[in-house]
Chains A and B, each alone.
Chain A
Amino acid sequence: MLEIRDIKTSYGKIAALKGVSLDIRDGGLTCLLGPNGAGKTTLIWTIAGILKAQSGSIKMGGDELAGLKAHQIVEKGVVTVPENRLVFPEMTVTDNLIAGAFSRRKEKGGVSEDLEAVLERFPRLRERATQEAGTLSGGEQQMLAVGRALMARPKILLMDEPSTGLAPIIVEEIFEIIGQLRDEGRTIFLVEQNANLALDYADHFYLLEQGQVTFGGDPGEVDHDELIARAYLGARKAS
């Protein structure tokens, strides 16, 4: 569904992505693992159009996404759940969710139905619908960020480290939600440091190390311990 080919992104002179190629398959959970500083978040921001790639292509169907602006990429249906949630703290939960539907200019109708569906999915958000988002707990803010992304009717969900800064029990809860979304047949690209948990849910995975994809496969095919060591520590230290 999303074909990423030889993407190079840098911050000034420092190359963060040195030619990344991978496929995000239709209707499944593709997971990107890797140690800190490998370029995982850079890849998400590059796909989302917030960072500009120096070269390479990102194709969805026949459409080229590389070079489009962030809002155009959301309009194409590629929607990001950013790291650290990034909700709008002084707006109500409801307004945060409505903000997720900005991209739907062509199909204006159905926003209130979708809002209802998101509140149905996350009853905790319904309880807090009129509260300012900044007053929610970390887990609730993560649900809100997922809900906001769903409001855009995404074809592909990009999720950046949904477990960051959350208590283990909340992380389990968030992953159950991700599992549900996958079981509904949605296409998800998950970037995660918590390799152990991510591999339980992934249909397919890639390992990103120092700005390059070094490994890819299905979770069943590989030795999890070896992979997890590399995902956390990087290749050199694990070998």
Chain B
Amino acid sequence: MIDVVQNTLDGLAIGSAYGLLALGFTLIFGVMRRLNMAFGSSILVGIFAGAWLHGQWAAGMIPIFAATLAGAVLAAAYVERLSFAWIRGDAALASMASSFALWMQLEDGIARAFPQRSYAFPSFDILPLLELGPLLLRPEFIAMFLTAAVLVVALHLMLTRTVFGLQVRTLSESREAARVSGVNVGRVAFLTFCIAAAIGGVAGFLIAATDGQISTKLGLWITMKGLIAMVISGLGSLRGALIGGLVLGLVEAQAQWYLGASGREITVFALLFVALILLPQGLAGRADAAARNEALRRL
């Protein structure tokens, strides 16, 4: 029983990081109606920028965090220009293929610049390990969970209370109507892309700091986790993305404990399969069905 509770706590913590990744994917998908395959590799660029700063000058946590964010946002801006802004909005497949190419390009570039198998990333050692009776709470897990909660609330407030947020929503509902309402569509899409990358950068930083070391494989890993969480959630809703991430984290943690590492991977794909069959509209329900149908129609 204690194991189940401990797994649940660990799963929720890592799941909140997955939720942030799915949130980034969903934000871009919602506004662009196109999938950004290079999302994970943009985050990879950020993480390696942080690791480089760490290795070069043994910088503190805050500069490394800033470098991670800056790297992720710059790489995302590059992807947005090449694969989205300069490709027509109704050519969803072209954007997807083009962003896939940039994924390969960015990942290969990082692999050449950082040829070692793995690099050190600073971990949180400021905070003590918390013991609650028989339960152990790792400080980085608490940080993950709290950061995700704060970011989700901040994003929600931004989308519902600010003029910029209203513009983002108009864009995700109808590009043409947004344009006739005077929304600078290009600018709003670009900024949304950058915000999504910043959120992904935060998630990447937390994941890297929890592991204490990084490799170039992380890009693929981030893409997989974020995409699976997004598909479980049903594409297109921010709340759904977060729930998808938490469910993925929970299932992974339990499967890891009871079935081992290989059993975990199989369970995750089984979860994806079951979700697609039983909940084709996703966890978040009706309102997202339209967005999903729209997405399928365009693909």
- A interface residue numbers (CB < 8 A to B): 48-50, 69-71, 74-75, 79-82, 86-91, 95, 98-100, 102-103, 148-149, 152
Contact = CB atoms under 8 A, between A and B. Distances in A.
Contacts of A89: 173-174
A73 to B, nearest CB: 9
Contacts of A87: 177
B281 interface: no
19 contacts: A49-B179, A50-B180, A69-B184, A70-B185, A71-B179, A71-B183, A71-B184, A74-B181, A80-B180, A82-B176, A86-B174, A86-B176, A86-B180, A88-B170, A90-B287, A95-B166, A102-B181, A102-B183, A149-B180
A103 B181 CA distance: 7
Contacts of B170: 88, 91, 99
Given A95-B166, A102-B167, A90 B181 contact: no
The 6 closest A-B pairs by CB, nearest first: A103-B182, A74-B182, A86-B177, A70-B179, A88-B173, A80-B180
B161 to A, nearest CB: 11
A146 to B, nearest CB: 12
A79 B169 contact: no
B256 to A, nearest CB: 38
B122 to A, nearest CB: 43
The B interface is mostly helix, strand or loop, or mixed, namely helix
A90 B176 contact: no
Q: Which interface residue of A80, A86, A87, A103 has the most chain B CB atoms within 10 A?
A: A86
A102 to B, nearest CB: 4
B167 A79 contact: no
A100 B179 CA distance: 10
Contacts of A75: 182
B180 A48 contact: yes
Interface residues of B, number: 19
Nearest to B167: A102
Given A70-B185, A71-B184, A102 B163 contact: yes
B169 A91 contact: yes
Contacts of A99: 166-167, 170, 178, 181, 183
B152 to A, nearest CB: 20
Interface string B143-177: 00000000000000000000100110110011011
Contact of B180 (A70, A90, A95): A70
Contacts of B176: 50, 82, 86
Given A88-B169, A91-B169, A98-B166, A71 B185 contact: yes
A100 B180 CA distance: 9
B174 A88 contact: yes
A12 to B, nearest CB: 12
Given A90-B287, A98-B166, A71 B182 contact: yes
Interface string B44-62: 0000000000000000000
Interface in B274-299: 287
A88 B177 contact: yes
Given A91-B170, A99-B166, A102-B167, A74 B180 contact: yes
B173 A91 contact: yes
A70 B179 CA distance: 6
Interface in B210-247: none
A134 to B, nearest CB: 9
Contacts of B180: 48, 50, 70, 74, 79-82, 86, 149
A131 B186 CA distance: 29
Contacts of B184: 69, 71
A125 B238 CA distance: 29
Q: Count chain A CB atoms within 10 A of each CB in B167, B174, B178, B180 and give the residue with the most.
A: B180
A148 B177 CA distance: 10
A130 to B, nearest CB: 14
Given A71-B184, A86-B174, A90-B173, A50 B179 contact: yes
Nearest to B160: A95
A95 B180 CA distance: 15
A86 B180 CA distance: 9
A72 B180 CA distance: 10
A48 B182 CA distance: 10
B182 to A, nearest CB: 3
Interface centre among A71, A90, A103 (most CB of B within 10 A): A71
A142 to B, nearest CB: 13
Contacts of B185: 70-71
A99 B188 CA distance: 14
Contacts of A50: 176, 179-180
B139 to A, nearest CB: 40
Nearest to B176: A86
Contacts of B169: 88, 91, 95
A50 B176 CA distance: 8
